[in-house]
Structure 1
Amino acid sequence: AFIYSPWSVVLVVVGLLALGGFIWLLRYRRGSRIAQFFLHIWDGMMSIRYMPHRGRFLLLTLLIWIGYFCYFYFALFAFEATRDLPLSVASIAFAMSSMSVIVPVQAGMGAWHAAVIITFTTFGMAVQPAKDFALIVHTAQTLWITLVGLIAIIALPIINRHYTRRRTAPAASVR
C-alpha cells in the first residue's frame, strides 16, 4: 500500500516537469546542444540494429541488469527495516538508483544514496535505516565492482595471450 509522504508529491511533480521539459526540448529546440545530446544518445541506441551478434549483446545486457536487480533486491533482506518491503517498492528504488547513476559524479556517490533514501522514505521508511541501507549497499557494490575489475585487468592479458589483432585495409576514398 502506498504511504503518503511529502516526497511523493515532490517526486511526481518533478517527474512530470522533467518529462514535459524533455518533450518540449525535443519538439521545439531540436538545434540546442541539450536536444542534440539526447538525439545522439537515441542514435547510439538505435545503432544496435546494425551490430553483429546483437541478440547475444541484448541477452547479456538483460542478464547483467537482472543480476544487478537481484543483488539490490536480496540486499533488502539483510536489513531489518527493508526486509518486508514489497517487490514494487524494491523495483521503484532500483529504478531510481539506476537513473541516478547518470548524474556526473564518480560511481554515483551521493546521487545513488539520495535516490534510494528518498524512494524509501517516500514509502514510509524512517530516514536513518534508509541511509544505512544506501551507504552499506553502495559501498559493497563499489568494492565488488572494483575487485572484479582488478581481477579482469589481471586475467584478460593471460586469457588473450594468443590473440593477434587483425588490421583491415582502410576504406577506399570516394571521389
Structure 2
Amino acid sequence: MVTFDLKTAVRYIILFLIGVGVLYLAFRGQDLGKIWQEIKTANYFWVTISALAVLIAHVLRALRWQMLYKSIHYKVSFLNAYHAVMIGYLANLALPRFGELGRCSVIHKAEKVPMFASIGTVITERLFDVLMLFLTSLAMIVFQYDIVSDFLYNTIYLNLVKKLNSLNYWWLVGCGILILALIALAIYFLRKKVSKKFLRIFVSLRQGFGSYGKLRQKGLFLTYTLGIWIFYSLSMYFAFSSIQATSGLHFNAAFTAIVFSGFAMAAPVQGGIGVFHWMVAQSLVLYGISFKDGLAYSTIIHSSQVLLIFILGSLSLFLVLAKKTGHH
C-alpha cells in the first residue's frame, strides 16, 4: 500500500500546475474560437481510427511485457498484463510515473509475482522505449535534417547552451557528491538493518533486469517494440485527416510528431498535459502548419487518447476489482 504525505501531494499539484501553465502559454494569444471550431467540425471517423491504432500499441505492450515474465518463469496471462498496462496508464493521468508501480501491483496481486521482479521487467521495458526514442530521433535528424535542423539549433541547442552557461558548476559537483554519499549511506543502512530483506529485493530486481537476456524469442520482442512505435506513428498519421489544415501531411510529419511527443510524455506531468500540446504543435509548424492549427490537432489527438485510457483503464480496473471480490 502506498501512502502520500503533504509534501508528496504538494509536489504532484505543482507538477500539474506546471502542465496547466505550459498549456496556457501554448494557447495564449491564439484565436480560441477558431481552434474550438476546428475541433467541433473535425472528422471523428479518423479520430476513432487513430485511437484504435493507439489501442493496438497498448495490446502489443502487454504482449511484450508478458514475454519478459515468461523468460523468468512467471506465468502471467495476457488479460492480466493488458489490464495492468491500462490501469497503469489510468494512474499516470492522476499521478505521473505512479502508473509503473500501479501495474506492478496489479500483477503482484493477480499473479503473485514478487513486486521487485515486476519493477525490474518494467525498467527493462522502459529502457527499450528510451532506446527506440533515441533511434527514432536519430533517424529524424538524419533523414529530415533540412526540416528540423533550424528548430533543433535555435530552440533547443542555443537555449541549452544559455542554461549551461548560467549554471554554477561547483554547486553541480557538490550536489553530485552529496547524492552519491546519500546513496552509499542508504545501501549501508539497508544492508546492516534489513540485510535479508535487502538481499531479497536485490535478487528480485536482478531477476527482472535479466528478463531480456533470458528471452528465447528476442526477435519477437524487438518486433513488438517496433510495432508499438509504428502504431503510435500511425495514430498521429490517421489523425491528420481529422481536420482540413493537417489533411495533406505525409507520414514523415507523423514520424517527427511522434518523436516530439515522446519527449513531451517523458516530462513528469500528468498525461503530458500542456507539454504534449506545445511539442506536437511545434513539430507541425516545421511542415508549414500554423501553430493555431497544430494546437487544434494536438488537442484532438491528446483528448482522444486520454478518453481511451479513461474508458478502457476504468473498465480494466472494474474487471480486476470484480475478479478479486469474486475470489473472496
Matched-pair contact (CA < 8 Å) for 2:245–2:289: yes
Structure 1 or 2: larger helix share? Answer: 2
By how many angstroms is 1:114 displaced? 0.8
Q: Which residue of 2 aligns with 1:32?
A: 176
Counterparts of 1:84 and 1:143, CA distance in 2: 26
Counterparts of 1:140 and 1:79, CA distance in 2: 14
For 1:1-175, list aligned pairs within 5 A: 7=151, 9-11=153-155, 13=157, 32=176, 50-51=210-211, 54=215, 55=218, 58-157=222-321
Matched-pair contact (CA < 8 Å) for 2:265–2:276: yes
By how many angstroms is 1:106 displaced? 0.8
Matched-pair contact (CA < 8 Å) for 1:101–1:107: yes
Matched position secondary structure for 1:85: coil
Please list the CA deviations of residues 62-92 of structure 1 after superposition, one character each: whole Å capped at 9, or x if unmatched: 4333332221221112121111212222111
Matched-pair contact (CA < 8 Å) for 1:93–1:119: yes
Counterparts of 2:211 and 2:252, CA distance in 1: 34
By how many angstroms is 1:127 displaced? 1.7
Matched-pair contact (CA < 8 Å) for 1:8–1:122: no
Counterparts of 1:67 and 1:13, CA distance in 2: 30
Q: Which residue of 2 aligns with 1:169?
A: none
Per the alignment, do residues 88 and 48 of structure 1 end up closer, same or farther by CA in structure 2, a change over 3 Å counting? farther
Q: What is the identity, as a one-letter code, of the residue corresponding to 1:81?
A: A
- Matched residues, percent identical? 24
Q: What is the identity, as a one-letter code, of the residue corresponding to 1:122?
A: L
User: How many residue pairs are counted as aligned between the two chains?
Assistant: 148
Per the alignment, do residues 149 and 8 of structure 1 end up closer, same or farther by CA in structure 2, a change over 3 Å counting? same
Please list the CA deviations of residues 12-54 of structure 1 after superposition, one character each: whole Å capped at 9, or x if unmatched: 625985xx99xxx9xxx6x828x98xxxxxxxxx987611674
Per the alignment, do residues 47 and 114 of structure 1 end up closer, same or farther by CA in structure 2, a change over 3 Å counting? farther
Q: Which residue of 1 aligns with 2:53?
A: none
Q: Give the TM-score of the pair, scaled to structure 2.
A: 0.36
Matched-pair contact (CA < 8 Å) for 1:100–1:111: yes
Per the alignment, do residues 98 and 4 of structure 1 end up closer, same or farther by CA in structure 2, a change over 3 Å counting? closer
Q: 5+ unaligned residues in a row in structure 1: which ranges?
A: 37-45, 164-175
Please list the CA deviations of residues 75-118 of structure 1 after superposition, one character each: whole Å capped at 9, or x if unmatched: 11212111121222211111111111111111000100111111
Q: Which residue of 1 aligns with 2:134?
A: none
Q: Give the TM-score of the pair, scaled to structure 1.
A: 0.63
Per the alignment, do residues 85 and 111 of structure 1 end up closer, same or farther by CA in structure 2, a change over 3 Å counting? same
- Between 1 and 2, higher relative CO (CA 8 Å, sep ≥ 6) is seen in 2
Per the alignment, do residues 11 and 153 of structure 1 end up closer, same or farther by CA in structure 2, a change over 3 Å counting? same
Q: CA RMSD in A?
A: 4.1
